[in-house]
Each structure stands twice: as structure tokens, then as C-alpha cells.
Amino acid sequence: MSTRRIAPPGAAGRQRQHGAFAIFVAIAMVVLLGALGLALDGGRLLSNKSELQSAADACALAAATELVCEAGDASCLSRAAKRGVNLANRNKMDLQSKSVAITENDVTFSTSSNGTFDKSQNASRYAKCTIKPSTIAPAFLSVLGINSMQAQAVAVATLSGGQNMCTNAPIAVCSGPTYTKGQWLTEAYADKKGTLGGTVFKWALLSGKGGASTIAAGLSSNDNTCAGKGDPVTFPGVASGVSDEYNSRFGLYKSASTDLTLSTTPMPDKTGYAYPTASIPLNATNAYDDYLVQRASNTPFSKAAYVDQSGGKSFSNSAYKKIATTSELQTYGRDRRILTLIVADCNSAAPKVTDSACVLMLNPMDNGNGANSTPLYLQYLGKPGTSGTPCQISGLPDPSGSGIGNSVATLVN
């Protein structure tokens, strides 16, 4: 006798419902994983985009700071690209787990923001960094068939005049004359005008009252006092007793036991070579060009090479028992003779900052800046923010692009 099971009423329907529920659960899981993927993988993609953009911004800003190329300097753009890559590669991506990959080929330059970017335009004023697409494997979006995501970034930066500027010596160039690049300037004080007459500069303070000790402190350090157009200026007059601090920038020290390893010792420039010389006479426009040659070889101060041409006065370095050597200038030398200075109305009863200037210190100070000493000379190198001006970058960018300050790198894209 056969036995037949009779399914209870509704059993087949329940089985069909179980199958439909499984399909619903599967669909719901896909939807949930997709939503989770959009949240987590999408957030990861945005995080990578932000990290790469930060790297591209750093690259472009760093490269732009080098765009003060001298005419004929074939390696200028290469240096700018290297600096940009160096800064960019310090950044991380993918939740700070991987290094950013960018090469010098990814850094290009142009003379205008909408021009052609390449590596052939030495007069470029814009730097562009492109971080190529980086593939990211999603953790959840693969269930929707998305097996890879890509993040990339581009940034463009340029140099513009700052809304303020920061000096690195307590000196002001007197306004009035239209200075030309390469022109020599002398002190404004009656006994020091020498043969250059009215092209003058003065000791100056931006921080209010002060005298020789304040001037000396500013010369010993890098001053780093920031000013804007219209800020008041104080002229303390002839500053006696500041020659030691001034001459330290040429690697001249009175104590034979001066230790350049000490943080309290004023650091020299990378060369102490002074002007005028037999081959670079008074007011020669190529003093800065020769300075670059001497700086590259860390040439020390040479009394034999330094030729005074101020009408019978002569520089004596007998008081300076230590002259920084080539090795010391190479090890401890800094950019101490290229100065960013304020321009002010020296004849006004209430002098104010009117502009800024980039200059080169040409010679050391003699006999405490007294009446029998040689004149001090500076060479005018141009207005900060213009092409070919070597002044260091500092200050705040001026959105209008017409600020008085020295060149400041700022993003434009």
C-alpha cells in the first residue's frame, strides 16, 4: 500500500514566498552595499582628491617661488621643477598610506595663465603642476561593477607683488630718483656721499624709536620687520658702532677666535668678495653678475682685490682678526648680502614707506662709519616682484597684484 503525503494547504505558496524573499534580500544587499560603497568608497575618493590637490598646490607654489630667472640662466626652470617635485613628494595620498608620485616632467611653465605650458620659456611667470590619474580599488562599489576609481589634481601658481613686505636689514632707499637696475647707491650722510652724490640710502627703523643698538641688532639678524605702504619710518641718523654687525655679512670678525658654529655668531653671506675692484669699477652695472660668480665659489673677502675709489680714503681691515674662509662660507654662508629694503621719502618731516627695493651689499664698513671711512655702496637690483629680481619671498599676497611688497607665490587655479 502506497503512502502519499498531502501538503498542508498554502505550503506551495509559502515556498514561492521564501524564494521571492531571498531574491528581495539579495537585491537589498546589493543596494545596501552600493549605498555603503557610495559613502565609504566615495568618501575615500574625495579624500584622495583633496590629498592630491594639496600636493599639487604645494608643488605649484614651490615652483613659482623660483621664477625669478636671470637672463641666460638655462637651469632656472629645472631648479623650479625640482623644488616643486620635492615639496609635492612629501605629501601622502589614499588616507596618508601612499606617497604621491610626481616627476619633473609633470611641472611646466608659461608666461601667462592661459598660455602654453612647457619647459622652454625662461621668462615664465606661471608654474603648473599636474598629478596624473591615480587608480584606487574600491572596497564596496565593485558589487555595482565599478572596479576602479581615479583621482587627479592640477594647480597653477604665480608670483605677485605683496600687500606688505618684510625687510632683512634696517636700511631705507630714499625715494625721488628713478633708479635703474645695476645702479650704485651711497649713504645719504654728508661725509659719505663720495662720487655718487644724490643716489642715497639711510639707516631706518620701522618699529618706532631706536638708535645704534637697534640698528646693530637688525644687521646681526635678518631684521624681518614687515611693513605696508604708508607705514611710518624713523631715521636715527649716523649709526656709529654698527660696523661689526654690518661686516659680519662679509665674513669679517674682530675676534680671531670667532666660532661660526655658535647660534649667537652673526652668519656671513656665501661670499665676502667686495666692490669696487680693478675689473668692476665704481658704478659698474655688472657687480651683481660678478657677485654670483664669487658666491658660487665661496670667495672670501680680499683686501688686495678690493680697490677703494672714493678720493683718497682707504679701507683698513686690520681690526678684523678673522676672515671667514672658503670652507666656512660654504658651510655656514647664507643669503645675507641680497636685501629687501623699504623705499621712503628721506626729506619728509613725517617719512613713510612708499615702495620697496631689492639691493646688493657691495662693500664692508670702515672705521665705525666715521668721517674718514670709505663710503658704503649698494647696487640696485630692481623692484621686488619683477622678473630677474633675486629678493627672497615673504609677506602677504595682494589680490590686486599691484602691491609694494616682494614677490609672493599665490595660486591662480
pLDDT in the model for residue 140: 59
Tell me the backbone φ, ψ of residue 288, rounded to 5 degrees: -65, -40
Domain borders along the chain are 17-161, 164-405
pLDDT at 279 > cutoff 80: yes
- Which of 170-174, 317-321, 326-330 tops mean pLDDT? 326-330
Q: pLDDT higher for 254 or 28? A: 254
Say which residues have a Cβ less than 8 Å from residue 368's Cβ, sequence separation at least 6: 240, 241, 243
pLDDT in the model for residue 363: 93
Mean pLDDT of 63-89: 83
Mean pLDDT of 29-57: 73
Q: pLDDT higher for 400 or 217? A: 217
pLDDT in the model for residue 199: 58
Mean pLDDT of 291-297: 94
pLDDT at 97 > cutoff 90: no
pLDDT at 145 > cutoff 90: no
pLDDT in the model for residue 239: 66
pLDDT in the model for residue 297: 95
pLDDT at 159 > cutoff 60: yes
> HSE-up of 258 (CA within 13 Å, CB side)?
22
Q: pLDDT higher for 21 or 167? A: 167
pLDDT tens track for 188-227: 654 444 444 555 898 888 877 678 888 888 898 866 678 8
pLDDT in the model for residue 405: 54
CA-based torsion, 180, 182, 187, 192: positive or negative:
negative
Q: pLDDT higher for 203 or 405? A: 203
> How many other β-carbons are positioned within 10 Å of the β-carbon of residue 400?
9
pLDDT at 301 > cutoff 70: yes
> pLDDT confidence of 38, banded at 50, 70, 90?
low
Tell me what the pLDDT averaged over the chain comes to.
80
pLDDT in the model for residue 344: 92
**SS3 labels along the chain:** CCCCCCCCCCHHHHHHHHHHHHHHHHHHHHHHHHHHHHHHHHHHHHHHHHHHHHHHHHHHHHHHCCCCCCCCCCCHHHHHHHHHHHHHCCCEECCCCEECCCCHHHEEEECCCCCCCECCCCCCCEEEEEEEEEEECCCCHHHHCCCCEEEEEEEEEEEEEECEEECCCCEEEECCCCCCCCCEEEECCHHHCCCCCCCEEEECECCCCCCHHHHHHHHHCCCCCEEECCCECECCCCCCCCHHHHHHCCCEECCCCCCCCCCCCCCCECCCCCCCECCCCCCCCCHHHHHHHHHHCCCCCCCCCECCCCCCCCCCCCCCCEECCHHHHHHHCECCCEEEEEEECCCCCCCEEEEEEEEEECCCCCHHHCCCCCCCEEEEEECCCCCCCCCCCCCCECCCCECCCCEEEEECC
**Number of residues assigned to the chain:** 413
pTM comes to: 0.67
3-state secondary structure at position 182: coil
pLDDT in the model for residue 328: 96
pLDDT tens track for 103-123: 999 999 998 888 999 988 888
